[in-house]
Structure 1
């Protein structure tokens, strides 16, 4: 007969008839087996605890690794987001597209095409020279529009050489030099033009408008319409009277010539009465303005 409560120990139960003879050895055996089983149980529990401890440490380590992995994943997301292709700007790196004049090979190496200089018959690369301006890439201020770079235009220019920018003359349009001096010995063929001041100076010189003009002879004159004119007419005197007949006197004079000798000469004196006076003249001064008919 076996105890059903401790079937796993396989402990025989004492028989009712031999409890004294058989029970003591069986109890000792049973206790020994129980002790052995308890030791096994303790060892199993210790192994179990050690395994649990290892599992706990591994779990903690896995938690740390999990946190690290999550942080790495988040960092990777940020890196991916920051590395999304964006167009390059003057201040930041970014993606660019290969445009005209640039080539790229299968290894991603880019290079420029050979430069072709511009000619009168074909487009090409030019250098901005004297007298020309070109717009440069600039950052516009707030509220202003960016100007388009690369626009070529005629800049502020001047030169002492008349042929530097195309001399103008009486036949062709071009650059001319202005002068205020109307007496300068140049002409339209020399690319020289007179200024408004030069024209006024010539006009003033022609009419002497800076002071009174006295004209003492008859004639036709071109005069400014806005001037005030003082016309003076002076009448001539009357005809003089006839002179009287002159009286001639002749005499002989004796003269010492300081040489110890004498000489004789003849002198004549002629005279006549004056003519009659002219008639009284008349002076009339009239101020007037010119009127257009």
Structure 2
């Protein structure tokens, strides 16, 4: 529940009848109350022997003065007497009881309301004042006493003057006519003295009124300042109430998870002190055996906002040729790379053109070349290959019919068979064979075979896109 502002004081005047005195501000125990008595002569003391009936937002004091109701002319005041202590201990990562938080905030608000009520009755000096409140009070009392003394002196002078005039008049009535003139003179002098005394009394009374007005104005100014301070205290109370409402909201939040915000349990290496301060165990530099702080390396920096930023060209490893789109060149020898998006040449990045790297060595010459993985047949660092190649033609021709003259000179041997009849009627048929050679032919004339073919230079290149190769040197 909320706790609206209520004055932390209830004042009553005795009437010879009342013994119960209600109050409308919240307290939690009778020890948080003070009952004060002021007698008719202005003496103030703390009352004793009273009891209290306490309710939800106030209560009632039961008091009898010397076994009787409070007499007329006496005053009784009931005020708060908060202990100004904080007994609630909230442990981190645990559930908070909203009622405990509510009671603590209400008691803190009651303390501020008590202070505000006291400030309304207090003398508050400007921040630049060198006086103390006691000095101001004593000065007001001194002015009051001086005015009272001046008034008393004027009244005494007036009374003395009146008595002198009466005595003079009595003397004049009983004196002879001879001294009538003297008596008249005395009366006139006494009257003048009385008038002067009256004037002095009036002046003293005016001075007393002026001093009283100054005192009232000073007190009114201090009361105005006290009211301002009270308003500021009320603003602080309102702000505290807002914080209480926020604390109430937080009390219902619960633990955080992947889908919603909430309370987070402190992990390893982090602790919360009793005062609510978060402390972190220092982390050493990381090693291969344990985690720790890591220092950013070459090309990596951490911004003021804690963001890790990488400079790609600074972080890239050296001695690795890479093709870069949009690179330009300048620098000390016109061969230093101006990377895309930059305006200055990087002296540690150089074109792979076979030239000097500025450190006594030559960079690889990758102009017009593609990279080939090294092997036994292709030793690292060697070059070869060609952009073009030629074709060699070889093969056989078709059949050619030779003339007799084109044949080698030669002859063919053959065997002939014929019949021969022997005897008369008793004879028989005989077959005989004989060999012979044909006439020679051929003149060994030469002959030719015709072959027609054409070759040309052919490119070896696949479809390509040319980029400049650059390499980082150290």
TM-score under structure 1 length normalisation: 0.30
Larger relative contact order, structure 1 or 2 (CA cutoff 8 Å, min sep 6): 2
- Which structure has the larger Rg over C-alpha atoms? 1
